Structure 1
Amino acid sequence: MKLSVLKHPATAIALAAIAGVVFGLLVGDWASNLKFIGDAFIRLIQMAIVPLVMASVIAATGSMSGSGTGKVALRTFAWMIGLSAVAAALAVALGLLFRPGVGMVYTGAIDPSLRESASEATGWQDTILGFFSTNVIESMAEAAMVPIIIFSLLFGVALNQYGRTSNSTVVLTFIEHLQQVLLTLIRLVMYVAPIGVFALLAALAGDVGLAVVGSALAYLGTNLLGVVILTVVFVAVVTLRTRLSPLKLPRKLAEQTAVAVTTTSSAVTFPTVLRNTIEKVGVSPRIANFTLSVGLTMGSYGAVFNYTIAVLFLAQAGGIDLTPGQIVFGMVLAILLNMGTITVPGGFPVVAIFLATTFGLPVEAAGLLIAVDWFTGILRTFLNVNADTLVAMLVAHADDEIDRDVYDGTVPVPEEEEEEGASTS
């Protein structure tokens, strides 16, 4: 039994993460030589993200009957926008209460290229216009997820109508099989996840160290408290709506949590979230495929919270009092940025500079946020990926599409997991 626990994917990744941090702190800068191994692991997963998201959305919308597509989409968007607003509102409350930016000083240099990238950011009208692609192949190449999802939604609706008029399911069957092949590919890649995570965190610990954390404890503490509160609130809402035991959730979400906090990437974690939500939580494939794919871009509640806190932090660091209108605009902007930015590590620095320039706040103070972004990235990604599963449960519950026997563990586990368990006994 103990050996089985040690060989559980979540345990293996967590142990590799700890070992990587310790190794990096011990050897220092040399650990950066291992970074290419971690980058290769991330790329192995990233290469399948775009086709997997497209296949998942098309399969979900293409297989829905009647008005199912519209109802599922409406519920999904309603929950995601509503919970994003809750995250932004909580960030304002905690930011004004604890004032984490007061007295913060940072003397590090800002990468000039970040200023250039932030200056290229456009207004909210152009941001929304950018959701609609003129060339879906180009969007796929750039991994622009919102245009990809919109194209996939429309393609799925068209496929749905074509299937009903022609009585042909050839294309839909092909896409469903493609999705399963891509998930199998991800399973193969995840066998080397502990190695990739060890290399990533060893390189990070060797380069950054932990000293910078001390100067940003108020900022990090406010983010941590917000994520804890939001997690409790989201779980409470799911419990009240579905009447499912919240005590079973930690074990079901353990693997995706381990991948999320060690890679700090919602995109990299997406395949694991999709598999766990279906196989361990019991959400039907059609709901999971649609809701989680949309949630990959729109369901980043941790990012919304973090971006809103960042606005208040920068203002407080510069001794600037924001008006109520500016605060509300910051909340709205955080939600829009959540939908428009990439879901892989490295996107926050540009967002931080963009927020500073948009509100006329001290850009230098953004340097501290960027310096500790890996730590806040852990919190953002933890909430992003697990809240996506919780939203999928809420959407599925409305149509009675949660297999409660799977959730309660009263049905046999999938064959693949049985074989793994047998090999460790």
Structure 2
Amino acid sequence: MGERHHCVPLVQLSRQIGFAAVAGLAFGLAVGEWAQNLQFIGDIFIRLIQMAIVPLVMTSVIVPLVMTSVIVATGSMSGAGTGKIALRTFQWMIGFSLVAAVLAWALASLIKPGAGMVFRGELDSSLKESATEVSGWQDTIVEFVSKNIFEAMSTATMVPIIVFSLLFGIALRIQTAKTGDDSVLSFIDQVQQIVLTMIRLVMYVAPIGVFCLLASMAGDVGFSVVTSTLKYLGTTLLGVLIIMALFVVVVTLRTGLNPALLPGKLADQTTIAVTTTSSAVTFPTVLRTAIEKIGVSQRVANFTLSIGLTMGSYGAVLNYMIVVMFLAQAGDIQLGFGEIVLGMALAILLNMGTITVPGGFPVVAMFLATSLDLPFEAVGLLIAVDWFAGIFRTFLNVNGDTFVAMLVAKPDDEIDEDVYYDRKHVVADDLDIDEELLVKADMAD
């Protein structure tokens, strides 16, 4: 969502969107149905985001596949045991990402945060039919491959587009390596940068778009907008707390360290995370905490936390799957087993960096809705309160990375218990982290 030096303006933009959301809700509840006259402005904002999704997803899949420096492990990762550390890092990250996705589905199915959003207007019949169509898992997989990629692009059918982009990226990488000609890659990279710039421009009018969307929605469905908002945020917060508790239990059992000391040791990074909603800004503190307060070795902390900065976004996985369930419930759509599994897979892939969708939560929400044929009517509400959801996501992302570093370090005795119990003091070396990782970290928050 921007380079590191753009973090403050982005925080200010998030706050402006939050204020616009509150104002829009109040205005819509006050004037009633007349507020629906503002819907067209909100629709334009949503369409501007939708317009950029297809070229953005295609370039965001192709470019990293061809370039060799997508994720740069630190120079300190060398010597015996490097492979084991990398393997354990990915195992724990993928494992907790799966837990987050399943937990999000379970909580959203139980609490039903989107069930109160009963729209008076009819949903597009073809959209609802396609979203509720029941098919076997074989048919679902077959539909991942499009017979006509241009048709998939024209209808924004995202999964076939992703599959095509993956194949195209692999083929382009082979061809580039064979010929040494990277002109096609340069062209695609330039297209991506232009689309990113376009999205950043669109986001500057987000407060106006969100105000109109929320005003219209509040005027249409009334006070249930507020209750649905609270249920959505409450579901996300409950999921974050459950996963945090699970992290603590697993870390305690695997390391044998006293969990009562963790709150004090994690206090600094937690404070920065919830006040900035930025993993990138919090990263230096996370690194120092892991080494100087937890006792994780420098080499494990450098590698695991660097990878976790972009791939260890458990809060994002949780939130994305809740978004899927919220949109389905808001449109009174029953997701089949295949759609639920696909939703979980997309949430994890968005987190793991295979599909990099920059531009912030609005792009992610629209991507999920488009991929699963879910209605867009409630997306504005989710965008409006994303600053609060971002606090929850960043809190879990940041602390989850520290817990994973502890789990990775323990089998090789790379946690110094003297440091953990304050019997010894160490100082972390400076880490020259790739700027690209900081940019991607902000995308996940």
- 1:371-382 equivalence runs, <5 A: 371-382=384-395
Match of 2:260 among 220, 223, 247: 247
**Which moved further from structure 2: 231-240 or 129-138?**
129-138
Structure 1 residues not aligned, in runs of 5+: 1-16, 30-52, 108-115, 145-203, 417-425
Following superposition, the deviation at residue 259 of structure 1 comes to: 1.3
Q: How far, CA to CA, are the matches of 1:381 and 1:285 in structure 2?
A: 23
Q: TM-score, normalised by structure 2?
A: 0.58
1:80 aligns with 2:93: yes
**Aligned residue number for residue 321 of structure 1:** 334
Q: How far, CA to CA, are the matches of 1:415 and 1:337 in structure 2?
A: 31
Contact 2:113 2:228 (8 Å CA) reproduced: no
1:125 aligns with 2:171: no
Following superposition, the deviation at residue 409 of structure 1 comes to: 0.9
**Aligned residue number for residue 76 of structure 2:** 60
Letter in 1 for 2:114: G
1:95 aligns with 2:111: no
Aligned length: 296
Following superposition, the deviation at residue 249 of structure 1 comes to: 0.8
- 1:345-384 equivalence runs, <5 A: 347-384=360-397
Q: How far, CA to CA, are the matches of 2:392 and 2:256 in structure 1?
A: 27
In structure 2, relative to structure 1, the CA distance for the partners of 1:342 and 1:381 (3 Å cut) is farther
Contact 2:305 2:401 (8 Å CA) reproduced: yes
Q: How far, CA to CA, are the matches of 1:387 and 1:343 in structure 2?
A: 22
Following superposition, the deviation at residue 316 of structure 1 comes to: 0.3
SS in 1 for 2:73: helix
SS in 1 for 2:378: helix
Letter in 1 for 2:234: G
- 1:108-187 equivalence runs, <5 A: 123=160, 124-125=162-163
1:330 aligns with 2:346: no
Contact 2:291 2:427 (8 Å CA) reproduced: no
Match of 1:398 among 387, 411, 436: 411
Structure 2 residues not aligned, in runs of 5+: 1-10, 24-68, 121-152, 177-181, 194-206, 219-224, 430-445
**Aligned residue number for residue 226 of structure 1:** 239
Letter in 1 for 2:163: Q
- Cα deviations by residue, 1:47-67 (Å, 9 ceiling, x for unpaired): xxxxxx999823232xx213x
Q: How far, CA to CA, are the matches of 1:54 and 1:322 in structure 2?
A: 34
Following superposition, the deviation at residue 296 of structure 1 comes to: 1.1
Contact 1:265 1:343 (8 Å CA) reproduced: no
Contact 1:119 1:354 (8 Å CA) reproduced: no
Larger helix percent: 1
Contact 2:310 2:352 (8 Å CA) reproduced: yes
Contact 2:247 2:403 (8 Å CA) reproduced: yes
| Aligned Cα root-mean-square deviation (Å) | 3.8
Following superposition, the deviation at residue 298 of structure 1 comes to: 1.2
In structure 2, relative to structure 1, the CA distance for the partners of 1:320 and 1:121 (3 Å cut) is closer
In structure 2, relative to structure 1, the CA distance for the partners of 1:214 and 1:85 (3 Å cut) is same
Contact 2:328 2:334 (8 Å CA) reproduced: yes
